[in-house]
Amino acid sequence: MSTQYSDRVPIDAQSVDAPLSRFAVFLVVTVAADSDALATVRETVSGIDDLVKNVGFRDLGGHLSCVVGVGRRLWDRLVPNIRPSELEVFGEVRGDVHTAPSTPGDLLFHIRADRVDLCFELERQLLDALGDAVRVVDETQGFRYFDVRDLLGFVDGTANPIGRELGASAIIGDEDPAFAGGSYVVVQKYLHDLDAWTSLTVEQQEAVIGRTKLENIELDDSVENQKAHKTLTTIVDDDGNELDILRDNMPFGSPGSGEFGTYFIGYSARLWVTMRMIDRMFIGDPPGFYDKILDASTAATGTTFFVPSNPVLQALGDPGESKGPADGSLGIGSLRQTSDGDTAADETEGTAP
């Protein structure tokens, strides 16, 4: 995945580290059961670079980018022989008070740009190409809100990894060599109860988030047992190293219909890190002391996808690549050779949405 952006060429597909943008579209679709639909999906997603070029080249300064994620069930249809080691259907997380639901999704398109028309046009061409092979289950249009604030009024994204840490956190490396260069992405669409949130004082809101509202300064947790959002989402390994994820949350909403939300999107080299964060938010640490952000934010969706590197995505266009031994290309066939023999067929299904 590229880390270089210039105004000379469009941004490569699957650049999870594409620049933060002013607008985004989060499009989640399911794929019809027939083989024609699968063929259409293969052709469209493997050619995503061309679609991004067609639209993005018209204004390179608009920084159009697109990341495609593939859900576990669709992955098993596309590549029956081998699967990324952690790829699972998002498992519902049920706390005492709040639940993170698991909702369907075979493909995620994370489209980002600094112009809303670029996002719109790419989505339009994409859905045109996919036709009735897919059904849209969620389409959310996000926008950047003042100084990168969410609709709760806090600056969102500060603690994201930077530099070399970014790659190590978000991009799969040697731990799963067959899928190196890929990433896991989890999305959750949260709807805010802004009346409940604004009934809190600013100090109370700051304690919930763990940062000051105006100046975005980190705060220590002050109430015994009750950890702030930023603490519940801090995951530390046995050696004391923090395990980060790469977030690109976006506000969305429609004041006219009373809808206000945050679209959470988190990329990670290790799916379990993101899921541990969600467990800690909904169940609490210690259990019962859940994330108070949830008293004003309801998770309406929850879906997990694998983001193949661009060469692997392109190889999905050829059904032959997912079968049989390697042919020497960078495609799935060669990936199969380097795998440890883990097959899709001999594993049990994850939690159904």
What residues are annotated to the active site?
156
CA dist list (Å): 334 to 82, 305, 337, 341: 11, 22, 5, 13
Task: CB nearer to ligand HEM: give 86 or 123.
Answer: 86
Asked if residue 297 binds ligand HEM (CB under 6 A), the reply is yes
Give the count of residues interacting with ligand HEM (CB under 6 A): 27
Task: CB nearer to ligand HEM: give 179 or 197.
Answer: 197
Asked if residue 274 binds ligand HEM (CB under 6 A), the reply is yes
Asked if residue 15 binds ligand HEM (CB under 6 A), the reply is no
Q: How far is the CB of 27 from ligand HEM (least distance, A)?
A: 19
What 221-230 contacts at long range (C-beta under 8 Å, 24+ apart), as own/partner pairs, is 225/286, 225/289, 226/289, 226/292, 227/285, 227/289, 227/291, 229/281, 229/291, 229/292, 229/293, 230/159
Task: CB nearer to ligand HEM: give 232 or 315.
Answer: 232
Backbone dihedral angles phi then psi of residue 76, each to the nearest 5 degrees: -65, -25
Asked if residue 185 binds ligand HEM (CB under 6 A), the reply is no
> What's at 309, amino acid-wise?
S
Q: What is the DSSP code (8-state) at residue 149?
A: B
Q: Look-up: residue for tokens 């541990």?
A: 276
Near ligand HEM in 246-265, by CB under 6 A: 247, 262, 264
First and final CA of the chain: distance in angstroms? 30
Near ligand HEM in 147-166, by CB under 6 A: 150, 152, 154-159
Near ligand HEM in 307-346, by CB under 6 A: none
- The only residue of 11, 45, 172, 209 in contact with ligand HEM, by rule CB under 6 A: 209
Q: How far is the CB of 329 from ligand HEM (least distance, A)?
A: 35
Asked if residue 279 binds ligand HEM (CB under 6 A), the reply is no
CA–CA distance, 304 with 343 (Å, rounded to integer): 20
